[in-house]
Chain A
């Protein structure tokens, strides 16, 4: 680029302004066009996963040419280069750490709909222990391992209730070396129950997300820290819904499901749309002006029409740009559902909740709506 000139102090007090020659600019422009052709050409050849890599390298060379020569970053102040470069550094952080989540979520996430997924109560897959309430050296060792992961932060490494988080928790976490004060009793089944349900009003949370056999294992380990525990009666087992004659560790428990699966389930559940126009009902006049009629007239009629027939055009303020939608007639639902919809509204729909109504008012309203629709 021998034609580039530095225009020094001849104008503009003290600054050096770099002028890019037409010739260099044209050269760069042509290079960029050639590189575009290269990108398109290479995309036609199958290089496996290298296609993406090559495309990105070529794009980056082009980007560098634009930034360094057209935007003249190569002659600019260093601090401007640092400023512009910093944006890419932080963008890289955004990429890397987001992907640290998204691409390490495990196999569950990748399953297509309809395929079986491993229940989370089976992080371990098949149960390792049969009749997990019987203590064996293996299950005790497993419990010790789990304890180190799940419990130490509050209950401490030695189980004295002195973990790093203990100071903040009131009441303090249980000291397993003492036999006093066990809220649910110092029995294997009761420790299992505590692990499953937590203790309300304390920092002890529910560990129902752990597989049942893991909870048995932890219970075994916790009790092993101090003297023999009380024996479990058949009634105790019944309390936690486990049949000691069967092998299944969780008894009547339902397995919980992973977040990703829950998300898919949620997606399958359809929401009700306002825009569907159903057959308008033919209705009689409402009877005397009771509480229900009054509420209907003041709160419902403006959208659902005088006779609950729907079809009124209303502005959908929640959407943008504002759209006009037709309301639905009030459906034939039982009183329970009616009360629920009136109180909470329909999420994702225009129907707002009316938490201000009392149950008796809603009952009146329900009766009134029914008379409207007869």
Chain B
């Protein structure tokens, strides 16, 4: 598959390439449903403990850095924008431009993880760890460790999704460079785009819930 353009043959059990595209897209939507419910469980746990211990949440969230969280939000939203543009370029068949946008998305995702890394290191240094390992002495509320359990699990699971997303973006970037996609076939680009927007979407909720507790 090294020649400049590869014509894509649809799988024989579909009537047409378009049917295959629609099926793949719908499959992706169903997959995103499972993602919503998986993250949803964490949000239910969050809601439970926030409802029970509102003062503790207010006290504990001050240990998080709003500028870093906001910076990460900017990174992710911008990466969502470049991803959308990558899809547009792929639809128009502009191969090098697609690669450019995908690379920008990849880099922004990387920036997100770097900021996250510094945040984590800072928390670990201060002993702001999940309940069993919590050693911080500044926070006096006995339930405060729970906040950091939630913080690490929620942002951690989200971080894993970012990592997977970076892998996927790298994969379609290579395929794109090999000329695998055309205006007639760009399904993987669009679907990875869906996935990436979803990762953004989760963060849109995580940011105010964790960093901006009133």
Taking Cβ atoms with an 8 Å cutoff, the residues of A that contact B are: 7, 11-15, 17, 19-22, 25-26, 28-29, 32-33, 36, 39-40, 43, 46-47, 51-52, 55-56, 58-59, 62-63, 66-67, 69-71, 76-77, 79-80, 83-84, 86-88, 90-91, 94-95, 98-99, 102-103, 110, 113
Residue numbers in A under 8 Å from B44 (CB-CB): 94-95, 98
Taking Cβ atoms with an 8 Å cutoff, the residues of B that contact A are: 16-18, 21-22, 25-26, 29-30, 32-34, 36-37, 40-41, 43-44, 47-48, 51-52, 66, 70, 73-74, 77-78, 80-81, 83-85, 87-88, 91-92, 142, 183-184, 193-194, 197-198, 200-201, 204-205, 207-209, 212, 214
Across the A-B interface, give the 8 residue pairs with the lowest CB-CB distance, nearest first. A29-B81, A51-B214, A87-B36, A43-B212, A15-B18, A87-B33, A55-B208, A91-B40
**Residues B74 and A33 in contact, CB atoms below 8 Å apart:** yes
Q: Separation in Å of the A344 CB from the closest CB of chain B?
A: 24
Majority secondary structure, B binding face: helix
Majority secondary structure, A binding face: helix
Q: Which of A40, A70, A90 contacts B212 (CB 8 A)?
A: A40
**Residues B88 and A19 in contact, CB atoms below 8 Å apart:** yes
Q: Separation in Å of the B135 CB from the closest CB of chain A?
A: 17
Q: Among A19, A71, A91, A95, which residue has the most Cβ atoms of chain B within 10 A?
A: A71
**Residues A84 and B29 in contact, CB atoms below 8 Å apart:** yes
Q: Which of A56, A66, A69 contacts B200 (CB 8 A)?
A: A66
**Residues A36 and B74 in contact, CB atoms below 8 Å apart:** yes
Residue numbers in A under 8 Å from B207 (CB-CB): 36, 39, 59
Given A15-B18, A55-B212, A102-B52, output 16 extra A-B contacts at Cβ < 8 Å: A12-B18, A15-B21, A15-B22, A25-B85, A29-B80, A36-B70, A36-B207, A40-B70, A55-B209, A56-B208, A59-B207, A66-B197, A66-B200, A84-B29, A84-B36, A90-B37
Q: Knowing A12-B18, A14-B18 are in contact, say whether A25-B74 is a contact too (CB < 8 A).
A: no
How far is B78's CA from A25's CA once the two chains are assembled, in angstroms? 11
Can you identify 6 A-B contacts, CB atoms within 8 angstroms?
Answer: A66-B80, A79-B26, A86-B33, A87-B40, A90-B37, A94-B40
